[in-house]
Structure 1
Amino acid sequence: MSRATKTLIEGAVTFAVGLALKLWGLDTQIWWVTPTKAGVVLMVIGGLLLASGLFQSVRRTEVTRK
């Protein structure tokens, strides 16, 4: 499994967990974190990882073409 594929999977899982927290997280504060706000942060991180994985996979295919 290539590095780009691992990054894509990691980003998708992180985004899915963040989406679940955003949709079904309680609006009560657990210690110092609100689950819905933590879900938004995880969705942003997951989106960045997905973009990075896509960039790596496109970059890898361009390098192999040359």
Structure 2
Amino acid sequence: MRYPPERNLWEGGATFVAGLALRLFAGDVAVPVVDPTKAGVVMMCVGGAQTAWGLFRSARRRRG
């Protein structure tokens, strides 16, 4: 499936913001399976990586 790099930027940004919200506002929530703050950090890392990938693809598409 081919789609434009802008999709990576939007998805990565949304994932990063959702992870940031979990990290900041879900610290006192008790979930038996996973710690929401740790899940937020993981989501922030994944969102940042996806955004970086979208920027890389965008720059590469413009250059070549």
- Structure possessing the higher radius of gyration over alpha carbons: 1
Where has structure 1 moved over 6 Å in runs of 4 or more? none
1:55 correspondence with 2:42? no
Q: Which runs of 5+ in 2 are unaligned?
A: none
Q: Which runs of 5+ in 1 are unaligned?
A: none
Residue deviations 1:6-56, cap 9 Å, x none?
A: 000000000000000000013444131011000000000000000000000
TM-score (norm 1): 0.86
SS in 1 for 2:31: coil
TM-score (norm 2): 0.89
What is the Cα-based RMSD across aligned positions, in Å? Answer: 1.2
- Number of aligned residue pairs: give it: 62
